[in-house]
Structure 1
Amino acid sequence: MHIACFIPSLFGGGAERVALNLCNGWSRAGHKVNIVVAEASGAFRDQIPTDVELVNLDTIKVRKSIGKLAQYIDDRRPDVLCSHLSHANIAAIRAVRKSNAKPKCVLVEHLTMSAYKGVKLRDKLIKPIARRVYKHADAIIAVSKGAARDLEQTLSLPSESVHVIYNPVVTDAMMNKANLGNDQTWFQDEVPVVLGVGRLTPQKDFTTLISAFAIARKQRALRLVLLGTGELQSKLESQVRSLGLEEDILLAGFSKNPYSWMTQANLLVLSSRWEALPTVLIEAMACGCNIVATDCPSGPAEILVEDLARGLVPVGDSDKMAEKILYMLQNPIDGDRLRAMARSSFSDEQSCNAYLQLFEEIK
């Protein structure tokens, strides 16, 4: 089977990492795989598997890539076009309808659509446009049960058109990176390290995490590391300074290997206002790292099951988050159990096979 995977760029986000893991798995299974991007720059460019071809449409903006994507479809004639992220999904549908080859079009939605908010005009138009065009897809994949239900309701989609496939998070390559070690000096003494990972955007709500950390820090020695870059960096730096916590909080930027941080951190905190299936929680579990997470729509409650659910806190509540940070540091869950739970539900092999089965069903 010839599979084309369309993503906007190779910048370092959870959806891009998922797409790369899928492409790697499909290629290993013997399929011809292309990664098609509107813009070929980004931190993940050097992580594309050698037997997966990168096709650069070189348009920068996704909405301007429709014509070139349609031409690619007619030139290469993939059997399936699988796109990721809402604006790329809209472009993919339009490109397939414009093409002569007409491959099967599969859309992967990585967000809880009803909760999605943006400030740009493009962001504000996502939902009304998606409501019109998603119905033309051959299949839609939601990355969690909660996201699937929300997608059906928000876009008025029939339930049979939306399929739930969990992300391919736990891979051998990831675990090899996790075991490389981390020489950050903060890991060299007994002070617990709390970790936050993600883009510095309103969605991730690191403002609440920093506030919660400040409250918890009054009770005991702690350190906080944030891995990621984004539009709110200067605002978060100002918040850290205003709290007088420059010696205790490190904004370390983007890391190609967040797993080495997760392996050594005492706790990972997800403070998001909304998600769909937060990859970072699964990655942390696979690294044996304990978790505190907001019970946001959607995903955390599907990942943190059984006694892991005690790590869930209300969205935007810094007091409850601080309380839970202190509790989980005192009452951690066994790391081996966390690792086993992550691999049992979120391995790359399980996810890749589920995608391939769906592709065969719609051919």
Structure 2
Amino acid sequence: MRIAIAIDRLSKGGAPKVMLSLANELLALGHEPHFLLMSEENIYDLPRGINVHCLFETDDKRLNRLFNLDKIAKKLSTKIARIESEVGKFDLFLSNLDKTNLLMAKTSVRPLFFVIHASVEEELKRHALLGPLKYVKKIRSKLALNGHHLITVSKGIEEEIRKKGRIKPASVTTIYNPFDIEDIVSKSLEKNPDIPTGDFWIHIGRFVQQKRHDVLFASLAKMENNLPIVLLCHKPKQARKLARKYGVEDRLIIPEFQYNPYPWIRAAKGMLLSSDFEGLPTVLIESLVCGTPVVSTDCPHGPKEILLDNLAEYLVPRRNPEELARKADLLLSRSIDLTDCGIERKVAADVVAKKYLGLIG
């Protein structure tokens, strides 16, 4: 099968990483994945067999405008038709992220599914606080999904869409994100001399409001332990400035961008997640696969679908640094068995890829 994965870019961020994992597994299963990129920005070294088509210039400002979308979508349709004339018809289109979704929804390509990576309602709440223009752009991209087939990356997002009724899709179903378990374990065993030799916490996430670094730093200040924390984020200066406000700047370790974060995760005493909302937080699953326990906010959506059974004890209320600190201290005092996490079987890459291939029928 020939599968087209349309997405804003192949750079830092959860959605590009997830779709790259899916493409790798599709390739391993003997299929032909193609990326249709709205931007040339690309930081990943792609394996041979995964085709990439950059459809617009990186600095093409038309992609961020409120108007003339029909004209841009028509140009996109023409480019896709040209690609299909060269490589053959696509058997499945998967669209990701708002900018791409807005354009793909105006094309006539089929079968077309939109992958929803985060809470729709939480994103709208956040953009309402950023001003009317930001909100209009965001809600326009969400309402463009009306009448289309949706794939959500967690049951929580699916339930939210069904209950809220803001979007009226043709269908909505959940397919978890794919994880190459063996590859993660293998990469986690690679040596990295930059990793601290002593104990430390780890937090991985962009420095954005959603991730609530303020809650994270406030919890560090309240912990009985005095462990440093490794931050893998994209705005180290801003992170340090905020940490200074909470008196914990001296506990931060912020390395440069890590193409392989897994050795860092494996070496940590625990992964901390302080987010207000997620879709299916990749770092939690990766942490469990690496054998590193987790303390996470019980945010919408995903954490409670990942931290099952005895691990559910380490879910804490959102925006509660005191409880995050208490559970982090508790985690340090215990030995936690992660040998049989039920979520791993549900997110194995071959299982997930076959579910996506099942959409073609």
Given the two structures, how large is their TM-score scaled by the length of structure 2? 0.88
Distance 1:301 1:160, change over 3 A: farther
Name the counterpart of 1:85: 97
Query: What secondary structure does 1:252 align onto?
Result: coil
Query: Is contact 1:268–1:284 with CA below 8 Å preserved after alignment?
Result: yes
Name the counterpart of 2:322: 319
What letter is aligned with 1:88? T
| Deviation sequence 1:216-256 (CA, Å, 0-9, x none) | 1xx233111110114xx434212323444343211224321
Name which of 50, 58, 61 aligns with 2:56: 58
Q: Which runs of 5+ in 2 are unaligned?
A: none
Q: Name the CA distance, whole Å, in 2 between partners of 1:3 and 1:59.
A: 23
Distance 1:185 1:93, change over 3 A: closer
Name the counterpart of 2:23: 23
Name the counterpart of 2:345: 344
Name the counterpart of 1:151: 161
- What is the CA distance between 1:202 and its match in structure 2? 0.4
Q: Name the CA distance, whole Å, in 2 between partners of 1:92 and 1:279.
A: 25
Alignment of 1:110-149 (within 5 A): 110-116=117-123, 117-118=126-127, 119=130, 123-126=134-137, 128-130=139-141, 132-137=143-148, 139-149=149-159
- What is the CA distance between 1:14 and its match in structure 2? 1.1
- What is the CA distance between 1:297 and its match in structure 2? 0.6
Q: Name the CA distance, whole Å, in 1 between partners of 2:209 and 2:188.
A: 28
What letter is aligned with 1:55? H
Name the counterpart of 1:195: 202
Query: What secondary structure does 2:20 align onto?
Result: helix
Name the counterpart of 2:218: 211
Say if 2:268 is the partner of 1:265.
Answer: yes
Name the counterpart of 1:7: 7
Name which of 163, 176, 191 aligns with 1:166: 176
| Deviation sequence 1:42-88 (CA, Å, 0-9, x none) | 322x1x22101110113335457634421232121422211112332
Distance 1:172 1:181, change over 3 A: same
Query: Is contact 1:170–1:286 with CA below 8 Å preserved after alignment?
Result: no
Distance 1:42 1:154, change over 3 A: farther
| Deviation sequence 1:246-284 (CA, Å, 0-9, x none) | 432112243211111111101001111011111111011
Distance 1:73 1:159, change over 3 A: closer
Q: Name the CA distance, whole Å, in 2 between partners of 1:120 and 1:93.
A: 25
Distance 1:15 1:121, change over 3 A: farther
- What is the CA distance between 1:154 and its match in structure 2? 3.9
- What is the CA distance between 1:185 and its match in structure 2? 5.0
Distance 1:126 1:358, change over 3 A: farther
Query: Is contact 2:36–2:54 with CA below 8 Å preserved after alignment?
Result: yes
Query: What secondary structure does 2:283 align onto?
Result: helix
Name the counterpart of 1:297: 300
Q: Name the CA distance, whole Å, in 1 between partners of 2:21 and 2:115.
A: 14
Query: What secondary structure does 1:353 align onto?
Result: helix
Q: Name the CA distance, whole Å, in 2 between partners of 1:159 and 1:54.
A: 29
Q: Name the CA distance, whole Å, in 1 between partners of 2:200 and 2:192.
A: 13
Report the more deviating stretch, 298-307 or 154-163.
154-163
Q: Name the CA distance, whole Å, in 1 between partners of 2:278 and 2:244.
A: 28
Query: What secondary structure does 1:167 align onto?
Result: coil
Say if 2:107 is the partner of 1:106.
Answer: no
- What is the CA distance between 1:133 and its match in structure 2? 2.4
Distance 1:32 1:144, change over 3 A: same
Identity %: 28
Query: Is contact 1:286–1:342 with CA below 8 Å preserved after alignment?
Result: no
Query: What secondary structure does 1:336 align onto?
Result: coil
Name the counterpart of 2:227: 222
Q: Name the CA distance, whole Å, in 2 between partners of 1:274 and 1:86.
A: 17
Query: What secondary structure does 2:329 align onto?
Result: helix
Name the count of aligned residue pairs. 343
Q: Name the CA distance, whole Å, in 2 between partners of 1:123 and 1:175.
A: 40
Query: What secondary structure does 1:10 align onto?
Result: coil
What is the CA RMSD across the aligned residues, in angstroms? Answer: 2.2
Q: Which runs of 5+ in 1 are unaligned?
A: none
Distance 1:26 1:183, change over 3 A: same
Distance 1:273 1:132, change over 3 A: closer
Query: Is contact 1:194–1:265 with CA below 8 Å preserved after alignment?
Result: yes
Report the more deviating stretch, 236-245 or 11-20.
236-245
Name the counterpart of 1:181: 191
Query: Hey, which bits of structure 1, 4+ residues long, moved more than 6 A?
Result: none
Name the counterpart of 2:37: 37
Query: Is contact 1:113–1:127 with CA below 8 Å preserved after alignment?
Result: no
